[in-house]
Chain A
Amino acid sequence: MHCCVERHIAAPNGWYSGIYRVICAVISGLRHMHEGIDRSGERSQELLVLARGGDKDAFCELVKIHQASVRAFIARYVHDSDQVMDLAQDTFLAAYRRLHQFDSSHELFPWLRGIARNCALEYLRRTGRRRRREEAAMEESLALWSTERLERDDNGGMDYLQELKNCLAKLAESSARVVQLRYFQQLSVDEVAAELGRTEGSVRMILMRLRQSLRKCVEDELHVEEAQK
């Protein structure tokens, strides 16, 4: 079994190995995807040229490469998963239309990220008023604070997902499984608890700590990357 995790932990046996493989596949996919970006700068340039000429298939190839990062960026600020999906698609549609404006001597993701930021901001501002009328106080406040954060966001071309991927690869096996059940398989907390034979409260605590460690890891990665620049 070849997987990014195997450098950190031994491959498990029995029923555990199935889930492990899923996590490996996801993480490996993420890594491969991003390595793909790095490796295929030339290919991206080719795709860009083709897409600028109106080749939709070529553009879809570019979308395939960047969609996860763009979605991840939008998801940081927009709560509704369906909206994240729509806004990410809006981002790519807008990019397709403005492709001729893009300076191909630069990286594509920071440009996409800028478009995504505008799309998300427009959405948040548009729905802000409605939120104030219709939604609970906590949701309203979170949306407001998220909007403020996004307005301040000046994280250049930083790819949050890239850093998160690195950190996920460092997770211990048991932690990876919780993440896999809760976030990859989208099980509810009580379903995860049942699956793991734990109480809901303990699963919530595990998830909280997991995110704390992931967050710290992401921040460290971002700092390292920034320092290297």
Chain B
Amino acid sequence: MTEEEALKTWEEFLHGRLSKEDERLLLSALKSDVELRNKVLDDLELHRVLMQFGVGEEEFLNSFRERLNAEGDHRAITDAVAEAISREGNTGRGGRRSIFRVLVPLAAAALVLAAVGLYFFHGRHAQVRPIRIVMKTGPVQEQGNEFATGNDTYCRLAFADGGIIGMDKNTRLAASFVGEPAAKQIRQDAGRIYLDVPRQARPMTIDTGTFKVEVLGTSLLINRTGQEYVSVLDGRIKLMCGEIGTYLRTGQHAFTGAGQPITVFTAPLQPQMLGWIGSIGLEAKGILDESESGTRRLSAGGLDLNNYVVDGGLWNIRTEGTSTIVSQELASGGHILFGPSRWKKGDLVCKVRPVRPLAPGADMGIGFFYPQGGKEGYSLTKAARLFRQYDAWINLRMSFEVDEESNTMTAHAVDLSVEGHPEATWSFPAGEKWIRRPANSVLKERGPCRIALNCWNCAADFRDLRLENAVAGDADADGPLFAYIFKGGKRDKIEDVSGVGEAVAMTVGKSANVQWLDDAIRLTGPADIACSGEMQRLRKAWKQNKAVTAEAWIRANQFTAKEDLPRLFMRMKVSGATLWFDLGKEGVPKDRFVQAAWVCYDDGDSFKTMFFIHGGQKRLERSIKGNMSLDTRQGPIEFCLVPSEKDDAPGRETKELWQGDLIALKIYGRKLTPEELRLSAEAGPPK
């Protein structure tokens, strides 16, 4: 084929007029003749560019704007969360654990999508607000850099270059900025504030009228309600009262009045002093820990996270049973929900509504994010779009599961329904699953995942956004590591229904002393109901968290009066060290369901226990004799209910065995709080 013939043939190919045989000949010629090939490729490039003239600019721009507004937000969510969580792996755990410091990165990560509203431009130069509201629970009066909360409103402010102020209700303050770099000056007129500021070039001052505080980098509490005082949570401050000055360090408090000397004392921070900060989300420390960056703080206009500007948006924290859920409202109308980390399965329940019913971007999905980087997600694009024509809430329930062993994430039992439109429902075909396998990684090498729900171009009703039946995956889990429900059994084996990792069943050692009921197992004597295998997860959790909680649902037939003897209920043993769990003398009416919980932990000096019924503490904290540290004890953990063994080990108070009906037992690898126990009690025994 000559060059001229080849070019003629090429022209026919370009316009779809070439036979297969001629195409083969042309290809052969192009492969053998580099010069010809280059000519053809030059021509092809020009042809393609010319073809672009047929594409309208408006069409392109409209389409791009749509993506910028819609998909841009979505990507920002996923990237920001992945980035925030990926930094967890690099976070040292030994540093100071300021609550605010923990909060900042998560808030910032979530705020990524809240986009751009608080930037203001003056002339050609963008001016970033030096202080702004990043979270509030209600209306906050705001005028320039002056802020005031009302009777039932809490608020959190963030400085553009790092640092946060939490405002209690009925608090009023004004911020000003002097010089370059700016020295921050806060005038606190009323109420209570909580500051967490990074180390900075120039001291920040807080003036209450009575005294003046200078800080370079610390967290502290300043109270102007009633007795005025300053408490230093971390770091060092300079306190001035008139001409008198002193320095305060971590754990020190000072109070004073006009013209009075400064009184300094050292004491632990009392709960009533800090309790209010839960209202600005600080109680979710456990969750927020996981997103801590360790080094990055809020910067100009928010946190510049993964190339996105962080700004705006409000977030919510809510406790569901024993779990806390953090969610972030997005400026786009979307929503992002952070479940506790390391949940491996559960039901995601939410309610969304397309912001723009006919917009192609109305969508939602669930994502899994990993500390070591990477993310996988399910998009519910098609399903969500089925109902775009309805201007109504769409209810979604989706069961999901992450299986590290098979390296899969599976979604099943997806149900969608449109409120007010019974005909509009969609369900996953029975037995069908969506299975995802990460393309380039192995799940178990990534570390435990964290779940986040992304909704973009959708409004989400926060009240209907939750995770149900969620099961955690390892020792760091919030949920139970082991769970046993004693009902309707006949055999001597009780399965572990926690769904967490490898199941460890319990077996009844003395069948003659038990009787199976419809809803429980009745214990009439020493039963020796013991774990049949090694409780690896508990060992790991205990070593890590230095704490364990056992929660039992029981119906006693003995201890009805306070004068009753304590009764031995449970025993935990490791390499000769034994913990005895007894109950009795609580004065609980007979035949009543009772949730009893033992919380054991190592406070650094010794092991201690607390006992709760229905979330109420029934026994004061007390030390346990003996060494239960798992750092030195390597044997298997033996867990036994109503043991027949009757030695006189230290810490044991009774030789009498408990008798009654046992309904359920859950074992956690951490300290459950009284509030968690109370909520669990209110929820009733597991079904």
Contacts and interface: CB of A to CB of B under 8 A. Distances in A.
B622 interface: no
Contacts of A185: 54
Contact of A54 (B17, B69, B119): B119
Given A63-B64, A84-B52, A183-B51, A141 B311 contact: no
B618 interface: no
B120 to A, nearest CB: 9
A224 interface: no
- Which one of B49, B61, B67, B301 has the highest number of Cβ atoms from chain A below 10 Å of its Cβ? B49
Contacts of A81: 51-52, 55
Contacts of A123: none
Given A145-B41, A183-B53, A214-B46, 11 more contacts: A63-B61, A67-B60, A76-B49, A89-B60, A97-B307, A138-B27, A145-B37, A160-B49, A204-B12, A211-B43, A211-B47
A9 interface: no
Contacts of B8: 205, 208
A205 B61 CA distance: 35
Given A56-B68, A184-B54, A207 B44 contact: no
A59 interface: yes
Interface stretch (B121-129, B194-202, B426-434, B606-614): B121-129
B119 A53 contact: yes
B646 interface: no
Interface stretch (A44-52, A108-116, A127-135): A44-52
A53 B121 contact: yes
Q: Which of under 10, 10 to 19, 20 to 34, or 35 or more describes the interface residues of A?
A: 35 or more
Contacts of A52: 126
B307 A53 contact: no
B195 to A, nearest CB: 27
Interface of B: 7-8, 10-13, 15, 17, 23-24, 26-27, 30-31, 37, 41-55, 57, 60-61, 63-65, 67-69, 71-72, 75-76, 115-116, 119, 121, 124-126, 128, 301, 304, 306-309, 311
A19 interface: no
A141 B27 contact: yes
B7 A146 contact: no
Contacts of B61: 60, 63-64, 67
A78 to B, nearest CB: 7
Contacts of A184: 53-54
Given A72-B52, A185-B54, A100 B307 contact: yes
B60 A186 contact: no
Contacts of A158: none
Given A76-B45, A142-B44, A71 B52 contact: yes
B36 to A, nearest CB: 12
A205 B11 contact: yes
A84 B49 CA distance: 10
Interface string A136-162: 111001100110010000000000110
A39 to B, nearest CB: 17
Interface string A155-189: 00000110010000000000000010011111011
Contacts of B17: 189, 200, 204
Contacts of A75: 45, 48-49, 51-52
B304 A138 contact: no
A167 to B, nearest CB: 10
A93 B126 CA distance: 21
A96 interface: yes
Interface string A71-95: 1100111110100110011001100
B121 to A, nearest CB: 6
B68 A212 contact: no
B365 to A, nearest CB: 18
A59 B115 CA distance: 14
Nearest to B306: A97
Given A88-B60, A136-B23, A93 B45 contact: no
A76 B43 CA distance: 10
B64 A49 contact: no
Summarize A's interface: helix, strand, loop or mixed.
helix
Contact of A183 (B15, B23, B50, B60): B50
Contacts of A67: 57, 60-61, 64
Contacts of A55: 116, 119, 121
Contacts of B31: 141
A229 interface: no
A71 B55 contact: yes
A126 to B, nearest CB: 11
Given A93-B72, A164-B49, A137 B27 contact: yes
A190 to B, nearest CB: 9
B42 A215 contact: yes
B13 A138 contact: yes
B43 to A, nearest CB: 6
Nearest 5 CB-CB pairs, A to B? A54-B116, A53-B126, A186-B54, A76-B45, A183-B50
A212 B44 CA distance: 11
A106 interface: no
Contacts of A97: 72, 75-76, 306-308
A92 B64 contact: yes
A98 interface: yes
- Which one of A75, A93, A189 has the highest number of Cβ atoms from chain B below 10 Å of its Cβ? A75
Contacts of A85: 55, 60, 63
A9 B223 CA distance: 83
18 contacts: A53-B119, A60-B65, A64-B57, A84-B55, A89-B63, A93-B71, A97-B75, A98-B307, A137-B27, A138-B23, A141-B27, A141-B31, A146-B44, A149-B41, A164-B46, A184-B53, A204-B15, A204-B17
A200 B14 CA distance: 13
B11 A49 contact: no
A26 B57 CA distance: 11
Nearest to B48: A75
B610 to A, nearest CB: 50
Contacts of A93: 64, 67-68, 71-72, 75
Interface string A24-65: 001000000000000000000110011011111001100110
B15 to A, nearest CB: 5
Contacts of B72: 93, 96-97
A228 interface: no
Contacts of B57: 64, 67-68
Interface string A9-26: 000000000000000001
A105 interface: no
Interface in A191-219: 200, 204-205, 207-208, 211-212, 214-215, 218
